[in-house]
Amino acid sequence: MSLSYTCINCNCGFKSPVTYIYGRRDAKSRSFPIQEATLKLRDGSTLHINSETMRKGLQYAATPGIADLLEWIKMLQKAIHNPPTMGITDPQRQLDVLVTSGSQDAICKTMEACIEKGQNILMECPSYPGTLGIVKPLGPNIIEVKSDKDGIDPAHLKQILSKWNPSDAKDKDSELPRLLYIIPNGGNPTGASLTLKRKKEIYKIAQTYDLLILEDDPYFYLQFNNPYIPSFLSMDEDGRVVRFDSFSKLLSGGARVGFVTGPKAVLERIGLHMQVSVMHASGLSQVCIHTVLESMGLEGFKNHALKVADFYRRQSEACVAAAEKHLTGLAEWAAPSGGMFLWMKLLNIEDSYTLITEKARAAEVLFVPGRVFYADDTKATPYIRVSYSVVSPELMDKGFERLARLLREETKH
């Protein structure tokens, strides 16, 4: 059997006469040292990846992802989010899915496709430094939208956009921002989650000003309360949401498998970028992830996600308890609503940077200074980010005890 492929590196419409003979691909596979694999799970059970399935992971695959995993993800997105655009036929707004090398790779390629130098863009503030590291070299004007314990503030977003008319969205030369980047659940660094009320307000503002919403949501399944707060994707009737998901927090960070869901017009650009960069996410990782997911089934996956969320909830409670024990009167914080981070304001400290990067490090306790979570990373801030993901309650207690001692010494001067 042979297939012809359409050239997608340009707009020439060329149909490649190159044929792929499956017999030859099989012969090539026989030269690879890996033939089969067995995965041992934590519950003691094993999963076998046979030679036929393994061959899919060993060979080059289609850029969007290995078909079995793609179908599983589409089923998951429909079951959890049921996007309104899933069934439409509009080629621009029609929903599509791509498997990517972690969600961050998808974010990077989306930003590179959507941002031009000098362009105004809207970003939640404070924000994930990995995304800031992607965006800043592209040279846009980052307009920071304030957030609090309930996530990004719609009133501030509306205030920022009020300098433009909604009709400016139709003017390609207008300086109206075209995209809004948000971490809606268990945000890094704040641990905050948007309420449903705020999400609806933000989506309505996006409709008014024709904004593209970039929903970076790796902590969706790490919400501490049930039922889950519905996603922007679940309310997207316009095809204006590009959603980034990851298996890193639930199955494996090192596997580097994430996925992006959104309008076909945007995902096509991401796919083109992938074809000339990574080609596709790791085939071996995709096969392993799909094997695990298939064994779980949808209900098993959901139950696993609840167990992981419960672990992080207990970690969060231990972190807050240790903070209350040692830092009451020295710092302020809001309990996280999901994820793995606590955002803390140090009282009577103008800037946390030197204290955290030098004195705390010397005391063998590690936090992240607040500066790195803002577009201007030279601006003084009293905030720090605490991560409780892999720290025992005993070490949390010891770490906050050391921080408290440093803060008392600092405020004596």
Instruction: Tell me what pLDDT residue 90 has.
Output: 81
Which residues lie closer than 8 Å to 165 by C-beta, 6 or more apart?
Answer: none
Q: Please compute, for residue 255, the number of CA atoms within 13 A of its CA located in the half-sphere on the CB side.
A: 22
Instruction: Tell me what pLDDT residue 210 has.
Output: 96
**Token pair of 97 as six digits:** 């899915």
Cβ-contact 143, 159 below 8 angstroms: no
Cβ-contact 250, 80 below 8 angstroms: no
What is the distance between the alpha carbons of residues 393 and 391, in angstroms, rounded to a whole number? 7
With 0-12 / 13-18 / 19 or more C-beta atoms within 10 angstroms meaning exposed / middle / buried, residue 110 is buried
Choose among 220, 299, 225: nearest CA to 258.
220
Strand partners, 344: 333, 384
Instruction: Sort strands 141-148 and 120-125 into parallel, antiparallel or unpaired.
Output: parallel
Instruction: Tell me what pLDDT residue 25 has.
Output: 52
The reply to whether omega before 382 is within 30° of 0 (cis) is no
Choose among 184, 190, 143: nearest CA to 162.
143
Instruction: Tell me what pLDDT residue 19 has.
Output: 34
Choose among 394, 384, 400: nearest CA to 347.
384
Q: What SS3 state is found at 351?
A: coil
What's the Cα-to-Cα distance from 276 to each of 13, 24, 57, 233, rounded to whole Å? 17, 24, 20, 28
Q: How many residues does the chain have?
A: 413
**Token pair of 104 as six digits:** 């961050």
With 0-12 / 13-18 / 19 or more C-beta atoms within 10 angstroms meaning exposed / middle / buried, residue 11 is exposed
What is the distance between the alpha carbons of residues 32 and 384, in angstroms, rounded to a whole number? 48
Provide the residue-wise pLDDT of the chain in tens; the chain has 413 residues: 333 333 433 333 333 333 333 344 555 567 888 888 889 999 999 989 888 888 888 788 888 999 999 999 999 999 999 999 987 888 778 899 999 998 999 999 999 999 999 999 999 999 999 999 999 999 999 999 999 999 999 999 999 999 999 999 999 899 999 999 999 999 999 999 999 999 999 999 999 999 999 999 999 999 999 899 999 999 999 999 999 999 999 998 888 999 999 999 999 999 999 988 888 988 899 999 999 999 999 999 999 999 999 999 999 999 999 999 999 999 999 999 999 999 999 999 999 999 999 999 999 999 999 999 999 999 999 999 999 998 999 999 999 999 999 999 987 76
Strand partners, 331: 328, 346
Q: What SS3 state is found at 346?
A: strand
Q: What percent of the chain has pLDDT over 90?
A: 77
